[in-house]
Chain A
Amino acid sequence: MRWVLALCVVAGCTLSGCAMAGAARRRVRLLEALIEGVRRMRPHMIGMFEPVKRALEASGCPILEAVGGGMDPGVTASAAWARARKAEGRRGGGIDALSAEDLEILDGLFEQLGETGRDQQELLLNGVCAALQRNLEDARRRVGEADRLYISLGALTGLMIALILI
Chain B
Amino acid sequence: MRTLERLEALLGAIPAGLMEVRIRAGRPVQYRCADGDRFGPVVPADRLGAILAALADHSLYAREAELKEGYFTMDDGCRVGVCGRLLCDGDRPTALTDAGALCVRVCREIRGASDGFYDALFEDDRLHSALIVSGPGLGKTTALRDAARRLSEDGYNVCIADERRELAACALGVPTLDVGPRTDVMDGCPKHVAVTRLLRAASPEVIVTDEIGDRRDAEALAEAARCGVRILASAHAGSLEQLLARKNVCLDVFELAVLLGDRPGQVKAIHRL
Contact = CB atoms under 8 A, between A and B. Distances in A.
B227 interface: no
Contact of B58 (A50, A114, A117): A114
Contacts of A45: 59, 61-62
A72 B57 CA distance: 9
Contacts of B64: 49, 117-118
Contacts of B10: 74
A104 B86 CA distance: 34
B57 A53 contact: yes
Contact of B62 (A51, A71, A76): A51
A81 B65 CA distance: 27
Counting chain A CB atoms within 10 Å of each CB, which of B9, B54, B58, B64 scores highest? Answer: B58
Nearest to B1: A73
Nearest to B97: A117
The 6 closest A-B pairs by CB, nearest first: A51-B59, A73-B1, A51-B57, A49-B62, A118-B61, A114-B58
A101 to B, nearest CB: 26
A34 B57 CA distance: 23
A2 B82 CA distance: 80
Contact of A52 (B9, B54, B58, B95): B58
Interface residues of B, number: 16
Contacts of A116: 60-61
Interface of B: 1, 5-6, 9-10, 53-54, 57-62, 64-65, 95
A73 B62 contact: no
Counting chain A CB atoms within 10 Å of each CB, which of B1, B5, B6, B61 scores highest? Answer: B61
Contacts of A115: 53, 58, 60
Nearest to A44: B62
Contact of B57 (A52, A118, A120): A52
Interface of A: 45-46, 49-53, 71, 73-77, 113-118, 120-121
A71 B58 contact: yes
A77 B61 contact: no
A121 B58 contact: no
A150 B95 CA distance: 54
A117 B61 contact: yes
A138 B96 CA distance: 41
22 contacts: A45-B59, A45-B61, A45-B62, A46-B61, A49-B61, A49-B65, A51-B57, A51-B59, A51-B62, A53-B57, A73-B6, A73-B57, A74-B6, A114-B53, A114-B59, A114-B62, A115-B60, A116-B60, A117-B60, A117-B95, A118-B61, A118-B64
Contact of B61 (A73, A74, A114): A114
B74 to A, nearest CB: 11
Contacts of A71: 58
A40 to B, nearest CB: 16
Nearest to B49: A115
A102 B69 CA distance: 39
Contacts of A53: 57, 59
Given A117-B61, A121-B61, 14 more contacts: A45-B61, A46-B61, A50-B59, A50-B62, A51-B57, A51-B58, A73-B1, A73-B9, A73-B57, A74-B6, A74-B54, A76-B58, A114-B59, A118-B64
